[in-house]
Structure 1
């Protein structure tokens, strides 16, 4: 076993500091004021930089040319240091980095003296006799740990041991199964004493383990550790102090969430059942869309399961169309688009040895090779022995794109569903090309789904550079958010799944993957019972990816209308999602710009409220809306904790509650408990039924004006890349409480919005307005709701809801609504 004991030598290279500490060497880079990189090797020399994951660097990297459109080069902070008796001190504007000499350890503090991360002295960096590497960090019982990518169980991962390893976990237990499909070695630590957050990203794609306090020893301070099967200990410390700052800084490093099409926020139908029909599967899908319209259930697309690729031998062959099931694929795609729906066909990177294209890929050297680097490696796969496309090889990438374009994208398809891409391989010594550097598959396995998603993006753009690709991926490594929406795979049909899939999604959001979801209704198991199905849909409408998808084990198919007497609840929930599309699209833009999650744990918005630290199931949708879905069978009431630091208004009754308390509300099967945060600004649509075909001509803006707040309402054409060239509209809505109440609208961008009418719904706590002015022009008041509805401009006060509803023609220029809440003295008049 090798352990760094003390500093032997220090060399300052101005942009990085090299430290020799016995058996290990260290390179410390101050990437910026918030991010400190620590590289540790137990070898003679550092290997050349070669990363697929990082998009912000301060050094030359082997992948710079490949990632030139994504990567940003920054200037590292000069590594000047102060020499003290027992330690070396490096600083940024926000951090102090103490490097202890003997015993060797690194401790990072903020400028207030709060210790943010401290190595376990005498055991900080270790390589065992099997070549595994360890990093031990001190921890306290009051530390909370979040993130870790896609992990089952409660949100806080303290006292958990978790494995990082992509695997196909069909029918998994969403509370207990580990690992799942994603491999994201990043976490956020919140110290409960000083309430300061920081993060650690381990830039290492070998299989690894996080132990967050499961292991204890009386000989040491309490500790957590990271252990990887190989590679470097390449650690990025990421400062907060807020959790949202950590997420922003982490996504500066690994990339923001890709901005997909607007219709990706719609309901995407799916089931394995249709594509397994012996014939006329295409008609079944088209009939599904017709049935949705008949039932008034909005739908904008369909995920096409892999049965469409079935060959004569019953096996699935990627890029192959079964013409018994899909007689005319191009005509089928066109008919779908005519019905306002896009198709997302399923593709898989493992090619069976019986595949008609197998020999072409083999001859091109496009597969991962055996351990000798000679023959294509074959391994177990769905359907039999297969070889995996090597996406670290330019030949593999180009050949994959060639057939993807020929078989799918040329049909008019711009949405691609990457599935079964975990690269489960038994021979981890197999060799990947790695852009000519050659590397074992065990080091690169989880990177492959990212590159596969990148190639789907490229294939669509090479056919039509103006269109915005919509890519979905089941597996992924850190940075998958740059290329794809993801979902948490083949969940089990159970009440436990609908509940614990929530913290799975919340953890992904804290790990940089804002655009995530789970199969609604359950993928694996018998058909969901009616109550479970209703509650699952009511929960699923808030997930960025909303798809009812199933492979039921009882010969049934999960469809929105499967229980006719319950369809009203399904329809109502999905229509609510479509009302929220303007809000969700703005949040999706924020994710692409800032890295912020769409579904947010309460601790993300209310870090100073200790009652939010452990909450796993209630969440914020954006910053304005708290969602407390009913998750228990037969529930008649629902207890909800309302975080301190805000007031809360019931979505339906408009009853107001002070924050910092737990309330209990009555619920029925139709209930979706939601609470509006004080200062909320929530844009909504009126009667949107299809994102492809319907324009939002009436914008409904729900505003709680009791405190100052800001929200950026974003819109564009939703499908092209014209937004990158200024064809967008950002409307910053401000609540200004300085000298009265004003709602200020400021526009940026040159997209011509279809909005013709604005309905501004003001939640009025104690008093109705006496007067409302638009650009200093008095807005007419109506006492009768019907007269207000018939008029073009005006306002009226809804006594029951305690809301003032203001309607006016949309103004393309900046404008202000003045709301006067003075008391009108009727007696003295």
Structure 2
């Protein structure tokens, strides 16, 4: 095989809503998906392979997997009309100018004003080397910043990084340096600080690959980055912002929005390997844990059950197997947990040891990944010995897997599934997957298998427990995993370093379309966390969409919320704060399911016009409204926080006002969780919530900062069924219009009957107290005494210390307006 390079454009052929370009190295198809998204599909083979994507949710062509992807949307690409300008071809949309240089062949994309957004490196744009690896070289500017890349260690900005895309079981990893980790998401956002423009590139290629974002340098070329894949096609989608949030929205249009999870998944999910490794009565240890949580005043809504429950008599772990010494009556145990308001999520692994009781059943059905001759099931190293791996590209593998999911778990009442150890580390790259009858090497499909595993859990629950909303958690995955599962950042090391650098790992995942994720709080692998580290980790973990304290401590200990009794109050306070924020979290996850927006957002996502945010890796926004600056360093007495320009800021606790564009330094102690409210914030809260399963939110608090016109969608549904898909939801658009006075409007859509009976609005009043508050034009009573206000069902009270107006009223099914009048009362002339 010789090196192939596309140097010259030889021929242009009009296709069906695309143009095909024949070069001296490869052929390409250009699709204008819409005004913002361009697809460039290139192959060095004689013909393009059949379109066959498990990943895309938006296509403009027939695809082999159309019947498998339930939320796939077929669009009609824009007409690919081009102008031949002699040296180049020009295609245009309302936003973009796609320039195809003829010789040397290269693609350049500009915005409508002619600013260069993407530019191939001429003379080496697209290359296939002697080993069959594919390269795409792009120019790099000094003012470029690079974000995303899925689950990657280190600081948020990945410029001058070289990163490998490959799923690996990286137990005890270094969250600053280890690469790769568990997820393989070949997508990034480029933000150019000079033009204030964000763009995205998604490489639709599931072979092992690498990104070099300016590490490599040659004086013969302009500065460049490159993508290199071990095989397949150079098939990429270019997305135009100009805002980072626009790019994330476009990317999730292509690969899917985050699945709306069960509401209880926002609760504290207990976990530890310790209990399921006890010699007997593990069920009672878990029930005792749940009772202890309640006794300590620590809310809990779920328990991730580690794989010790599957252990056979020989000590090996066998998926779908219950150890009856540890769990004598699984169905009764599951029902006991449910009665206590706690969902059980059992750990499930796709590798089946050769001694597994069901091994022969799967083997005889041909349901495992096969050797490179396609003659027998391939085996490889796994936890406990040699194992074969279920092939989810094979209908037989899928059906058998779903059958056992139902019989072992779902029929017993389990609808929360924890998919673990699913990186598919099969060392023979030529081992064969069924690929829906067409046979394909594992090297082409490896990261897609965990996505399909999650899809099968979703399908099994839909088949066995109709209308039950699934809750699925995955460790490994590819682009699009957000459609099926919540994820977490695997087996992190117990250290201050992990606490700190797990934050940008999570933020990068959010920018890569995966809004619902987190990490093991307290650290998974290592000795028990010291008390201060544990407190700080919980204080950070409460803001992660997945909040679970999980451990496999190496010093014979177990990480539990009360492990240090003199510190338990800090843990309790933090978790109770998490539960207060559940209505805000749930609304943000609904937003993610519609728009693709992250829940935990890097500062640059909300403030890309402020250069001070471009490199910020550790402070983040929770939604649009709340800045969180956790204490992440040992023995800290102060914490510096940069408050971005373009907004005003208010201390969460005191409501003290700060102008944006400055760094403030706060005194901190062990109880400190530095948080700032952004101007225009609307934050719904549930002040007395302790269990999401068994309690209904009857009093809702709304924290409102009214210095700018803003809105927020409060989302409600039953939290456990799929009825929301049939209109049984309530979307309340809360809008604030402010000039001299303030009007808070509530407009409702949907048929769900809210459980909320009372609303309490906490309105920040920066300069002056109101003179009057009205509801639908009717004056609400004003109280000078807080106790009197608290004892009444309706009215308002001004808190002079916090400078907030507290407004209480009955909730209504109808739209309504609250008007707050800030006219100055002239007491002297009266």
Mapped partners of 1:661, 1:519: distance in 2: 33
Q: Does structure 1 retain, via aligned residues, the 8 Å contact 2:410–2:465?
A: no
User: What are the equivalent positions in structure 2 for 1:421-570 lying under 5 Å apart?
Assistant: 421-570=422-571
Which residue number in structure 2 is paired with residue 692 of structure 1?
Answer: 693
How many Å apart are 1:167 and its aligned residue? 0.2
> What whole-Å deviation, never above 9, does each CA across 1:670-716 have from its counterpart, x for those lacking one?
00000000000000002100000111100000000010001000000
Which residue number in structure 2 is paired with residue 22 of structure 1?
Answer: 24
Q: Does structure 1 retain, via aligned residues, the 8 Å contact 2:740–2:822?
A: no
Mapped partners of 1:695, 1:107: distance in 2: 55
How many Å apart are 1:495 and its aligned residue? 0.2
**Range with bigger deviation, 586-595 or 12-21:** 12-21
Mapped partners of 2:511, 2:687: distance in 1: 32
Secondary structure of residue in 1 paired with 2:141:
coil
Which residue number in structure 2 is paired with residue 208 of structure 1?
Answer: 209
Q: Does structure 2 retain, via aligned residues, the 8 Å contact 1:256–1:593?
A: yes
Q: Does structure 2 retain, via aligned residues, the 8 Å contact 1:257–1:592?
A: yes
Mapped partners of 1:26, 1:557: distance in 2: 56
Mapped partners of 1:381, 1:153: distance in 2: 28
Alignment of 1:806 with 2:807, yes or no, is: yes
User: What are the equivalent positions in structure 2 for 1:602-613 lying under 5 Å apart?
Assistant: 602-613=603-614
How many Å apart are 1:266 and its aligned residue? 0.2
Q: Does structure 2 retain, via aligned residues, the 8 Å contact 1:14–1:80?
A: no
Mapped partners of 1:649, 1:522: distance in 2: 32
Q: Which runs of structure 1 show a deviation greater than 4 angstroms over 4 or more consecutive aligned residues?
A: none
User: What are the equivalent positions in structure 2 for 1:623-702 lying under 5 Å apart?
Assistant: 623-702=624-703
How many Å apart are 1:739 and its aligned residue? 6.5
How many Å apart are 1:14 and its aligned residue? 4.2
Q: Does structure 2 retain, via aligned residues, the 8 Å contact 1:682–1:702?
A: yes
Mapped partners of 2:135, 2:54: distance in 1: 23
How many Å apart are 1:228 and its aligned residue? 0.4
Mapped partners of 1:476, 1:580: distance in 2: 29
Mapped partners of 2:45, 2:759: distance in 1: 65
How many Å apart are 1:70 and its aligned residue? 1.4
Secondary structure of residue in 2 paired with 1:8:
strand
How many Å apart are 1:564 and its aligned residue? 0.2
Mapped partners of 1:546, 1:667: distance in 2: 24
Q: Does structure 1 retain, via aligned residues, the 8 Å contact 2:199–2:239?
A: yes
Which residue number in structure 2 is paired with residue 188 of structure 1?
Answer: 189
Q: Does structure 1 retain, via aligned residues, the 8 Å contact 2:524–2:552?
A: yes
Q: Does structure 1 retain, via aligned residues, the 8 Å contact 2:148–2:508?
A: yes
Structure 2 residue corresponding to 1:57, chosen from 34, 56, 59: 59
How many Å apart are 1:142 and its aligned residue? 1.1
> What whole-Å deviation, never above 9, does each CA across 1:727-774 have from its counterpart, x for those lacking one?
111000000125631000000011111111100000000100011011
Mapped partners of 1:665, 1:738: distance in 2: 32
How many Å apart are 1:23 and its aligned residue? 1.7
Mapped partners of 2:67, 2:810: distance in 1: 50
Mapped partners of 2:554, 2:676: distance in 1: 37
Which residue number in structure 2 is paired with residue 295 of structure 1?
Answer: 296
Mapped partners of 2:637, 2:767: distance in 1: 31
Which residue number in structure 2 is paired with residue 34 of structure 1?
Answer: 36
Secondary structure of residue in 1 paired with 2:61:
coil
Which residue number in structure 2 is paired with residue 120 of structure 1?
Answer: 121
Which residue number in structure 1 is paired with residue 100 of structure 2?
Answer: 99
Structure 2, unpaired ranges of 5+: none
How many Å apart are 1:93 and its aligned residue? 1.0
Mapped partners of 1:626, 1:368: distance in 2: 47
Which residue number in structure 1 is paired with residue 46 of structure 2?
Answer: 44
Normalising by structure 2, we get a TM-score of 0.99
Q: Does structure 1 retain, via aligned residues, the 8 Å contact 2:165–2:184?
A: yes
Which residue number in structure 1 is paired with residue 134 of structure 2?
Answer: 133
Alignment of 1:593 with 2:594, yes or no, is: yes
How many Å apart are 1:260 and its aligned residue? 1.1
Mapped partners of 2:67, 2:763: distance in 1: 52
> What whole-Å deviation, never above 9, does each CA across 1:608-652 have from its counterpart, x for those lacking one?
001000000000000000000000000010000000110000000
Normalising by structure 1, we get a TM-score of 1.00
Secondary structure of residue in 2 paired with 1:457:
helix
Q: Does structure 1 retain, via aligned residues, the 8 Å contact 2:257–2:513?
A: yes
Mapped partners of 1:70, 1:827: distance in 2: 66
Secondary structure of residue in 2 paired with 1:752:
coil
**What is the aligned-residue RMSD (CA, Å)?**
0.6
> What whole-Å deviation, never above 9, does each CA across 1:274-300 have from its counterpart, x for those lacking one?
000000000000000000000000000
User: What are the equivalent positions in structure 2 for 1:327-342 lying under 5 Å apart?
Assistant: 327-342=328-343
Secondary structure of residue in 2 paired with 1:204:
coil
Which residue number in structure 2 is paired with residue 248 of structure 1?
Answer: 249
How many residues are paired up? 828
